[in-house]
Amino acid sequence: MRRASQYAALAAYIVFLAFPLVWLLSTALKTPQEMALADPTWIPREPTLANFTDAFGEQDLVGAAVRSLGVALASSVITVLISLPAAYAMARYRGLVNRIAIGWVLVSQVFPFILIIIPLFMILRDLELVNTLPGLVVVHVTFTLPFALWMLQGYVRAVPPELEEAAAVDGATRLRSIVKVVAPLLAPGVVATLLFAFISSWNEFMFALVILQNPDVMTLPLTLVRFTGPEGVARLGPLAAASLMATIPSLIFFAIIQRRLKSGLMAGAVKG
Name the minimum Å distance from CB 88 to another protein.
Answer: 6
With CA atoms as reference, report the closest residue to 27 among 55, 12, 48, 10. 48
Dihedral sign, Cα of residue 94, residue 100, residue 102, residue 103: positive
Alpha helices in 29-170 (DSSP H): 32-35, 50-57, 59-92, 96-110, 113-126, 133-157, 161-169
Binding mask 218-247 for another protein (x = CB under 8 A): ---x--xx------xx--x--xx--xx-xx
Binding mask 149-188 for another protein (x = CB under 8 A): x---------------------------------------
Q: Which of 36, 179, 187, 191 binds another protein (CB under 8 A)?
A: 36
* Closest CB to another protein among residues 36, 158: 36
Taking the CA atoms of residue 97, residue 99, residue 101 and residue 102 in that order, the dihedral angle to the nearest 10 degrees is 160
Q: Which of 33, 43, 119, 229 binds another protein (CB under 8 A)?
A: 119
33 binds another protein (CB under 8 A): no
Nearer to another protein, 85 or 184 (CB): 85
Site string for another protein, 46-85 (x = CB under 8 A): -----------------------------------xxx-x
Distance between CA 188 and CA 8 in Å, rounded? 41
Stretch that binds another protein, among 58-66, 135-143, 164-172, 181-189 (CB under 8 A): 135-143
Answer whether 117's CB lies under 8 Å from 210's CB. Answer: yes
| Member of 1, 110, 169, 175 binding another protein (CB under 8 A) | 110
User: How far is Cα 12 from Cα 158, in angstroms, rounded to an integer?
Assistant: 42
Closest distance of CB 27 from another protein, Å: 5
By CB under 8 A, name the one of 59, 109, 214, 229 that touches another protein.
109
Distance CA 78, CA 81 (A): 5
Per CB under 8 A, the list member of 64, 65, 141, 182 interacting with another protein is 141
* Four-CA torsion 164, 171, 86, 188, nearest 10 degrees: -50
